[in-house]
Amino acid sequence: MAILSLKFLCKEEEELVHSQSIECLEKIGVLVHSKSVLKMLEDAGAKVNLGKKTARMPESMVNEAIKKAPKSFILGARDPKHDLKLPVQGYPFVSTGGVTLFMTDFESGERREASRRDLADFARLADALDSIDAFWPIVTTSDVPPHSQFVHELWTSFQNTTKHILGSAGSGTLGIPDARAQIALGALVAGGADSMRKRPPFSVLSCIAAPLSFETGAVEAQVEYARAGVPIISMSMCMGGMTSPVTIAGTIVIANAENLASLVVTQTAAPGAPQIYSSEATLVNVATGFIGYRGVEAPIIFTAAGQMARRYGLPKMTGILGVDAERPGVLIPFGELASLMLTAMSGTDLCSGIGGLDLDGGCSLEQVVVDAAQWEEFRAFMRNISVTEKTAALDVVKDVGQGNTFIGHPHTARNFRAEMFFRSKKSELYGATMSDRMVPDARETVRKILREHSVAPLEKEVLAKGNDIVGAYERSSH
């Protein structure tokens, strides 16, 4: 099958990024704010300075981690029909964005904090939309104790979608206990620890603190998840000009080095544990100080990250989706929308970001529908195209002959629907840029789904045990 995807680095440039990344890890190393992880790395061959909390990783250690990492695996789901096999064959799987600070109220449009009820609505909406493959808990719930947010969000998501869930790792002193509570919930839903290893119903984003730094709780949690078989998504979010060199090449190298360092941590802790190479690195917007997701440089850097992941044979999450304007709609110009579309063509296996507002500061139910509609258009460019002797159709050319038309030939009638993408009647409405006139229609779609769509409930025994796990964690003193 032929699939449209971008390419940025030539073979020699890929080798340069790799060699510079290795030199970075060997000579500069990474900062690791965890004595236990530093000791683990030292025992495995890293050159550790406990006083400076740094670990320098030799090339042999990196190569061994790449060798041990699985090159394909399944992201499981409550409903097996929603299992996601990585790497993809065709366009990538997509998910909502995650960990936003506010949402727009569905009725008033006002910004406000979100509750577990709101998260449940987002999960059910994502469950109902065929174009969304996985759910990242998109809101930060305000009606639970702060230390238990990620655990509550995972459990609420499990109850309201049958699709795969992208969880988040706790930080600080919460790292290990938070991970253990989430792992217990995952094993409960999967039907046991062994079943969870085979078809993990959730994965977890473990972000590197750019540049080249691992926070205590997050990296210790990463070790726990890896040993339990929960896939790690090692997201680098370095910003060129702020947390990486301002050059495009420098940002690519730091993002790659961070992913390799994270892979070393995972494979040292649990050889063969699943990990997804991930990067949302791009240049800083010097006018605002925020990450430039919609800049021209974004798809270039995302594509380079995708190429490096492919070089190592690792599943990858190197694409983003979502208009992400200040309020619901498509309130950005065409060039910025095109940048987002091109990141999805980076050769990635996963994209996230659907439903976000204001550079992922917030979200809205209507925006989930709007972004899903955009994705319907984008993914048509990346569908599998058969290029074979049969589809070349020389027998049909011979039959029609020179100077004649193919329009009336039976071959055209049999194949045009499979070969052509037909835009929906609403494509003009949802495809308008610098516009919010599609929002009322999106709002009606949300109303209809929340009124009519039901999610298969967890078994009563599973629900009761899960509630006990969450309740015990909520009452803990962390």
Percentage with pLDDT > 70 across the chain: 100
Same structural domain, 271 and 398: no
Instruction: Give yes or no: residues 310 and 334 share one domain.
Output: yes
Domain residues for the domain of 378 are 67-383+464-472
Same domain, 168 and 314: yes
Output the pLDDT for position 171: 82
Report if residue 169 sits inside a domain.
yes
Sort residue 407 into left (φ over 0), alpha (ψ -120 to 50) or beta.
alpha
- pLDDT tens-digit profile of 62-106? 999 999 999 999 999 999 999 999 999 899 999 999 999 999 999
Buried b (16+ CB within 10 A) or exposed e, 166-194: bbbbbbeebbbbbbbbbbbbbbbbbeeee
Predicted pLDDT of residue 477? 65
- Using alpha carbons, list the distances in angstroms from residue 263 to 33, 273, 417, 439: 17, 9, 44, 42
Residue 8 lies in a domain: no
188 and 159 belong to one structural domain: yes
Asked, for residue 59, whether it belongs to a domain, the answer is: no
Kindly state whether residue 61 falls inside one of the protein's structural domains.
no
What is the pTM assigned to this prediction? 0.96
156-172 average pLDDT score: 94
- What is the pLDDT, as a whole number, of residue 169? 87
The 10s digit of each residue's pLDDT in 23-53 is 999 999 999 999 999 999 999 999 999 999 9
> pLDDT, tens digit, for every residue of 416-455?
999 999 998 899 999 999 999 999 999 999 999 999 999 9
| pLDDT for 432 | 94
For position 478, what pLDDT does the model report?
Answer: 59
Residue 165 three-state SS:
strand
* Cα angle for residues 218, 224, 225 (degrees, 5° grid): 85
Q: Is the pLDDT of residue 1 over 80?
A: no
Element (H, E) at 38: helix 35-43
The count of structural domains within the chain is 2
Is residue 266 pLDDT above 80, yes or no?
yes
* Amino acid at the residue 78: R
Q: Domain for residue 177, yes or no?
A: yes
Same domain, 125 and 264: yes
Cα distance between residue 77 and residue 200, in whole Å: 7
The pair of structure tokens assigned to 301 is: 């850097």
Verify that 169 and 222 share a domain, yes or no.
yes
| pLDDT of 339 above 90 | yes
Q: How far apart are CA 321 and CA 356, in angstroms?
A: 9
Is 175 domain-assigned? yes
Residue 160 resides in a domain: yes
Shared domain for 96 and 115, answered yes or no, is: yes
Q: Are residues 324 and 399 in the same domain?
A: no
Same domain, 402 and 348: no
Phi-psi region of 173 (alpha: psi -120 to 50; beta: other; left: phi over 0): alpha
**Are 352 and 399 part of one and the same domain?**
no
Quick: pLDDT tens for 377-422: 999 999 999 999 999 999 999 999 999 999 999 999 999 999 999 9
Per-residue confidence band for 331, with pLDDT thresholds at 50, 70 and 90: very high
Q: Tell me how far apart the alpha carbons of residues 408 and 295 are, in angstroms, rounded to a whole number.
A: 46
Whether residue 23 lies inside any domain: the answer is no
> What integer is the mean pLDDT of 123-145?
97
Identify the CA nearest to 364 among candidates 129, 118, 128: 118
Are 163 and 209 in the same domain? yes
For range 156-178, the mean pLDDT: 93
Whether 243 and 127 share a structural domain: yes
Instruction: Assign residue 284 the CATH number of its domain.
Output: 3.20.20.480
State the average pLDDT for the chain. 96
Mean pLDDT of 244-262: 98
pLDDT mean over 350-358: 96
- The single residue listed with the structure tokens 């605002």 is 288
